[in-house]
Structure 1
Amino acid sequence: MPHPAYEAFDALAQRSGYALIDPPILQPAGLFLDLLGEDMRRRAFLTADAEGREFCLRPDFTIPVSLHHLGNAKAGTVGAYAYRGPVFRFRSDGPSEFLQAGFENFGRSDKPAADAEMLAIAIEAAGGLGLTRPEIRMGDAGIVTAMLDALDLPPVWRRRLVSDLRRSKNLDEDLARLGNAAPKNGAAAYAGFLAALEGSDPGSARAAVADLLSIAGIQPVGGRSVDEIADRFLEQAALSSGAGVDGEKVAITRRIFAVSGDPDTASAELRTIAGEARLDLSAVLDAFDERTGFFAARGIDIGAVKFATGFGRRLDYYTGFVFELHDPAEPDAQARVGGGRYDHLMGQLGSAQSVPAVGCSIWLDRFGGEA
């Protein structure tokens, strides 16, 4: 029996110019495990065919919709799609089969305008489900990337901060350790091995650790491959051996990650920090302000948008604007709607050229009886 919200959702999709599609439920597993990160490996429903190729029940719609666009649209064309139906992944807080709906937009070069359109559609969809005044939480992975580029932090710290930002965890702990250049926590045990690897390219270092794990008979656990265990070891060894950052860069990083407020206030504060630290963040902040202007043009209350530099979303493919819609009556509950910009995903799926993309997902089961 169709969900009672489908009719209104389909009308919104048609009104907004998004074609309704229904990607196959059975999907190639490797794409999801490679692109959605380690967390998805633990949560996906996996199976294999007679030739041993792994498949999964679709745990998410974004990759299947992206593959649809890649296979059916001409290079460089714009595509706008809507979807609704079941997805399948293990959840501790609810059934592992649940209904999801959403929108994905590909190929638009006017990124700030496309971002604003996506947020406006998400707000309208939530309103149709009964959440008429959502709490809007927002971040921007592009600002974080630009900051890390400008500060030239060590690669191990770049990876660590970006990874924990996406998962909204351990960020305070990371920042506390960032300036600690003194070896600690058993770093001496790593020193000789790291010295032997010094000067090696990342692939060779990873292969050396993977070989040692194999010789020691250490088997993959928790769904991780030997290469993933090797990457994790190298990261932890580098952090423990004292790959610290000078105090000025630590202070700037802390200030930038502490910025929060409505988009206009946050932009002004970020520009002040960048100016004082002599960081060139003008391009990414100009795009940020342009997007805010498009928010206002679409009737979104800028004062109601809660931006935080330290706000991220769990999926690994986000590259810029990210957002969630929450029920202000239940601020600690999970997001009702979430999405953002993922400009690199199509290249990872095989596109020969860059394809800008932005989308959002709506968890219909989190709206309960409001539909």
Structure 2
Amino acid sequence: MSTSFQNIKGTFDILPDAYTDDGGTRVAASAEWRHVEATVRDVMRRHNFEEIRTPVLEPTELVARGVGESTDIVQKEMFAFERSDTQYVLRPEITAPVVRSFLQHHLDQRGGVQKLFYIGPCFRAEQPQKGRYRQFHQFGIEVLGADQPRADAETIAVLMAVCEALGLSDLRLRLNTLGTPERREEYVAALQDYLAPHADELSETSRRRLEQNPLRILDTKVEHEQALLRDAPTLIDFVSDESLAHYDEVKRLLGDLGVEYDEDPHLVRGLDYYTETTFELEHPGLGAQSALAGGGRYDRLAEVLGSDDPVPAVGFAAGMERLFLALDAAEADRPGADTPDVFIAALGDEAEAWCFRTAQELRAGGLHVAHDLMGRSLKAQMKEANRQNAPYAMIIGGNELEAGAATVKEMESGEQEDVPFDDLVEYLTSPAESA
């Protein structure tokens, strides 16, 4: 069986079984995705977060304002289009949409701090590579309405709790403070003054950033640029006393929680909306592009998006494809495919009709039931029960219908037992006690 159609470059299908894509990356099975999503939801429940879901389609201006006109996302990576004089974009990240939703629906009127989480797809028109796709998936949190360092520390603690619950260790948390935008402008000027005489030594990308967004040069992976930055002014020297006090308290709280971190004065993240605390979580199994998740405080974003009043906020986002690469590298346990509780095998037309009807009744009783839909022989049906790893096979033929009892075979031991039809649900939901 073949088709002339293929999934679009930079996207992938999630299938019942794991497979390796054209780029050599393992794509996790759907059961593994459900496991990760369920783990995220459980951690969020325990930390008192509520789910929010926003559209994948947003106004282009929302993203341009929220993320920053000079960022790579807006300059090069958005899937944007126009229809009936309206500009749209497939969301490249979810923080700006969440803040838009918070403002639009007046979620502040619910009272208290809004602790929101999300899981969903995002889209960026970048060159696909290992763990990076044009359609990718993120989970994350946004804490809206809290300006205290406790909110920053708890945000980081939630991220670490998800990783711990999934079995990830050997993580590196990088931490920094960006201070306020006003003081950061002073630092940007000093950084430009320092780098300008060395402009000819910079890559084309860094020369462009020197004019448009100098802080992004601090993210460079080019070795001679990293060496050049060792003597550059450091952002921490331009941060106000108030911001330093906030940062020190965040570090103290993380220490109380036993969360280890490395301070990195060059960590700025790639989005314009960050202020004060910023952080990034890395895993060595991801190689040179080791970032697993990142986030920080963004107290000014609501005003950028049109709010009359500031909304203090902090959050993080984690890439799920990157997470699966880390889980693979760590050889963390993941569930296999779901298996049925019982496979029903039928002999004859009357038995097939009984099995079809009874399968629905057993499912209504909470059981995961598989049965044959192709009218195959009993031998073929039992082979299929083995393929699906069913622990029990229920065999129904004329004798069983006449006796009103099914032959139930335990597949591993081969032992069989006659079970009255009325007792099937009880037997299959508690076989050890019924045997």
Provide the TM-score with structure 1 as the length reference: 0.64
Q: What aligned pairs does 1:184-195 form with structure 2 within 5 A after superposition?
A: none
What are the superposed Cα offsets for residues 286-331 of structure 1, whole Å, 9 maximum, x if unpaired? 2221111111122213xxx111222111111111211111113445
Instruction: Look up the equivalent residue of 1:35 and give its one-letter code.
Output: G
Give the aligned partner of residue 255 of structure 2.
296
Task: Return closer, same or farther for 1:162/1:56 CA change in 2, 3 Å cut-off.
Answer: closer
Change (3 A) 1:175 1:317: farther
**1 or 2, which has the higher helix percentage?**
1
1:312 equivalent to 2:268? Answer yes
After the TM superposition, list the runs of 4 or more consecutive aligned residues in structure 1 that deviate by more than 4 angstroms. 151-162, 169-177
State the match for 2:234 in structure 1.
Answer: 256
Residue 55 to residue 66, structure 1, CA distance change in 2 (3 Å): same
Q: Summarize the Cα distance change of 1:255–1:40 in structure 2 as closer, same or farther, 3 Å threshold.
A: closer
1:208-262 CA-partner distances (Å, limit 9, x unpaired): xxxxxxxxxxxxxxxxxxxxxxxxxxxxxxxxxxxxxxxxxxx9x83535xxxxx
Tell me whether 349-358 or 38-47 shows the greater mean CA deviation.
38-47
Gaps of 5+ in 2: 1-29, 195-208, 328-333, 335-435
Candidates 149, 152, 173, aligned match of 1:115: 152
SS of residue paired to 1:254: coil
- Residue 24 of structure 1 is matched in structure 2 by 55
Contact preservation (8 Å) 1:27, 1:58: yes
Q: Is the 8 A contact 1:126 1:132 kept in 2?
A: yes
**For 1:141, which of 178, 182, 188 is the aligned residue?**
178
Which secondary structure state, in structure 2, belongs to the residue aligned with residue 324 of structure 1? strand
Residues 134/176 of structure 1: CA separation in 2 closer, same or farther (3 Å cut): closer
Report the 3-state secondary structure (helix = DSSP H, G, I; strand = E; otherwise coil) of the residue aligned with 2:244.
helix
Counterpart Cα distance in 2 of 1:64 and 1:281: 30
Q: Give how far 1:360 is off.
A: 0.4
SS state at 2:321 partner: helix
More strand by share: 2
**Is 2:334 the counterpart of 1:284?**
no
1:162-206, Cα deviation, whole Å (9 max, x unpaired): 9232453469869979xxxxxxxxxxxxxxxxxxxxxxxxxxxxx
Cα distance in 1, alignment partners of residues 150 and 164 from structure 2: 21
Aligned counterpart, 1:56: 89
Structure 1 CA distance, aligned partners of 2:252 and 2:297?
Answer: 18
Distance in 2 between the 1:156 and 1:256 partners?
12
Q: CA deviation at 1:161?
A: 9.1
1:164 aligns with 2:199: no
For 1:91 and 1:136, the matched residues in 2 are separated by 26
How many residue pairs are counted as aligned between the two chains? Answer: 272
2:98 to 60, 65, 79: 65
**Residue of 104, 113, 130 corresponding to 1:78:** 113
- Residues of 2 paired with 1:307 and 1:64: CA distance? 30
SS of structure 1 residue aligned to 2:317 = strand
Taking a change above 3 Å as real, the CA distance of residues 294 and 161 of structure 1, as seen in their structure-2 partners, is farther
Q: Is the 8 A contact 1:46 1:56 kept in 2?
A: yes
Whether the 8 Å contact between 1:324 and 1:338 is mirrored in structure 2 is yes
* Alignment-mate amino acid for residue 96 of structure 2: I
Q: CA deviation at 1:48?
A: 2.1
Sequence identity percentage: 27
Q: Distance in 2 between matches of 1:80 and 1:130?
A: 25
Which amino acid letter does the alignment assign opposite residue 286 of structure 1?
A
Provide the residue aligned with 2:139 in structure 1: 101
How much has 1:133 moved relative to structure 2? 3.1
Please, which of 301, 313, 317 is the counterpart of residue 345 of structure 1?
Answer: 301
Distance 1:46 1:33 in 2: 11
Q: Map Cα deviations across residues 46-102 of structure 1 (whole Å, 9 max, x no partner).
A: 12222x111111111101111121122136852110000111112322321111101
1:266 aligns with none
Q: What is the identity, as a one-letter code, of the residue corresponding to 2:300?
A: H
TM-superposed deviation, 1:129? 3.2
Does structure 2 conserve the Cα–Cα contact (< 8 Å) formed by 1:343 and 1:356?
Answer: yes
Partner residue of 1:46 out of 68, 71, 80: 80
The alpha carbon displacement at 1:356 in A equals 0.7
Q: What is the root-mean-square deviation in Å for CA atoms of aligned residues?
A: 3.3
Does the Cα contact within 8 Å between 1:166 and 1:315 map onto a contact in 2? no
Change (3 A) 1:80 1:162: farther
- Secondary structure of 1:133's counterpart equals coil
| Contact residue 127 and residue 133 of structure 1 kept, 8 A | no
More RCO (CA 8 Å, sep 6+): 1
Gaps of 5+ in 1: 178-250, 258-269
Cα separation, partners in 2 of 1:167 and 1:77, compared to 1, 3 Å: farther
Tell me if 1:131 matches 2:168.
yes
Task: Provide the C-alpha distance between the structure 2 equivalents of 1:336 and 1:315, rounded to a whole number of angstroms.
Answer: 16
Distance 1:43 1:147 in 2: 26
Q: State the Cα distance separating 1:152 from its structure 2 match.
A: 10
Shift of 1:25: 1.2
Partners of 2:53 and 2:188 lie apart in 1 by 43
State the AA in 2 paired with 1:254.
A
**Which piece of structure 1 moves more, 161-170 or 93-102?**
161-170
Deviations 1:90-129 (A, max 9, x none): 232232111110111011131x111111111111112233
Structure 1 residues 350 and 26, CA gap change in structure 2 (3 angstroms): same
Instruction: Give SS of 2:275's match.
Output: coil
